[in-house]
A and B are shown apart, each in its own frame.
Chain A
């Protein structure tokens, strides 16, 4: 089994970041030939997703989430939190994260990701730009 935290830097408010190569690299490092890999985001205002690597589609998904959960609105979460030293102004990001999910799981076969040709793993930034982390865990037989 291999468990590793990966840190990335987002540059936009809402952004899909393709992390497939990084996950493949960690599968190779684990030397696991057959099993599965789970990828978890460590933030409740981000998500993990599997979809096609096409820039137009990445924008479509981001834009659709903006329309589905609008930023303008009366959210109870939006107020100052003295214990954090800051206001929370991102209820919409948390709700989008609920809809997209916080993890993905894929199969590992012959030491590689067993996935469709167009399937890619994305870290979904929903309240950037920020430094973000996700955890990759590869489990199976060497």
Chain B
């Protein structure tokens, strides 16, 4: 079973129903025409992705929008239960954020959380704000995908998404299962030491920020880290993610398969690690 751990469910029907086109363009910086569900399903089929993890972002306090709502994710999962695993998002600035986390997981049946420091404007090590949230997610024993590394929001400092911040998060919340998205690019070694040190921190591979997916993966796996480090030290801590709709899923899959990594390692990245995290 191949799993894409990083899909934004920003398809045309959801964008229309929720009236969020302007927010998708101006806040999420996605200016291409939204694609329908058929495009997402066809891209998954072509790439042989069996399941995609859907990641919304609740930006209510910061931008007055949800990209999209947890309800939209839940509805899509109910329509395609074999295809999607739904995560929810909560606005960490809301007073009832902790209660909402329980609702998302226990009532809506969503299987994890997604948070974004640049879009939700928080620092991962602002423990006054974040500890109650981390604690609740830890209690519920579900994973949380948190943006790390490069982003394009011109209003925020890149330093709020450095992987090393999660060293302190993991020390305070050792049972919190965190996925640092985008491998923390460009702080690849920082992300690597954090996932090597902390048993409950993972990275995903979403979005090639440099050139092509293959060149980006080749840069990370061959030129920065090297095959031996990947295969011997972190192969159980990497998850495949595309970042649809920012990139076609099959382009990411093809690129990863072209890397000269052991088949066992590739299988862990595409399948086994995500299955472990999702308890599948």
Contacts and interface: CB of A to CB of B under 8 A. Distances in A.
A86 B246 contact: yes
Interface in A41-99: 72, 78-80, 82-87, 89
Contact of B31 (A72, A78, A84, A127): A84
A71 to B, nearest CB: 9
B75 to A, nearest CB: 21
Contacts of A11: 42, 45-46
A28 B28 CA distance: 44
A89 B251 contact: yes
A13 B250 contact: yes
A129 B28 contact: no
A86 B245 contact: yes
A119 interface: no
Nearest to A127: B248
A6 to B, nearest CB: 15
Q: Which of A83, A87, A128 gathers most chain B CB within 10 Å? A: A87
B247 A128 contact: no
Contacts of B28: 85
Size class of the contact patch on chain A: 20 to 34
A87 B210 CA distance: 8
A12 B39 CA distance: 10
Contact of B209 (A80, A83, A84): A80
B188 to A, nearest CB: 17
Majority-rule SS of B interface residues: loop
B43 interface: yes
Nearest to B12: A131
B32 interface: yes
B87 to A, nearest CB: 20
A43 to B, nearest CB: 10
Nearest to A73: B212
A110 interface: no
Contact of B247 (A79, A86, A130, A131): A86
A85 B29 contact: yes
A9 interface: yes
B38 interface: yes
Contacts of B248: 89, 127
Interface in B194-225: 207-215
Nearest to B40: A129
A87 B246 CA distance: 7
B212 A78 contact: yes
Nearest to B215: A78
B35 interface: yes
Q: Which of B46, B210, B248 gathers most chain A CB within 10 Å? A: B248
Contact of B43 (A82, A86, A129): A129
B32 A129 contact: no
B42 A128 contact: yes
A12 B42 CA distance: 7
Contacts of A10: 42
Contacts of A9: 36, 38-39, 42
Contact of A129 (B31, B33, B39, B210): B39
Interface of B: 28-33, 35-36, 38-39, 42-43, 45-46, 152, 207-215, 245-248, 250-251
The 9 closest A-B pairs by CB, nearest first: A129-B42, A85-B29, A85-B30, A86-B246, A11-B42, A82-B152, A9-B38, A78-B212, A78-B211
25 contacts: A9-B42, A10-B42, A11-B46, A12-B46, A72-B214, A78-B211, A78-B215, A79-B211, A83-B29, A84-B32, A85-B28, A85-B31, A85-B32, A85-B246, A86-B246, A87-B207, A87-B247, A89-B212, A89-B248, A89-B251, A127-B248, A128-B42, A129-B46, A131-B35, A131-B39
Given A87-B207, A131-B35, 20 more contacts: A9-B38, A10-B42, A11-B45, A11-B46, A13-B250, A72-B214, A78-B215, A80-B209, A82-B152, A83-B29, A83-B31, A84-B31, A85-B32, A87-B246, A87-B247, A89-B251, A129-B38, A129-B42, A131-B33, A131-B36
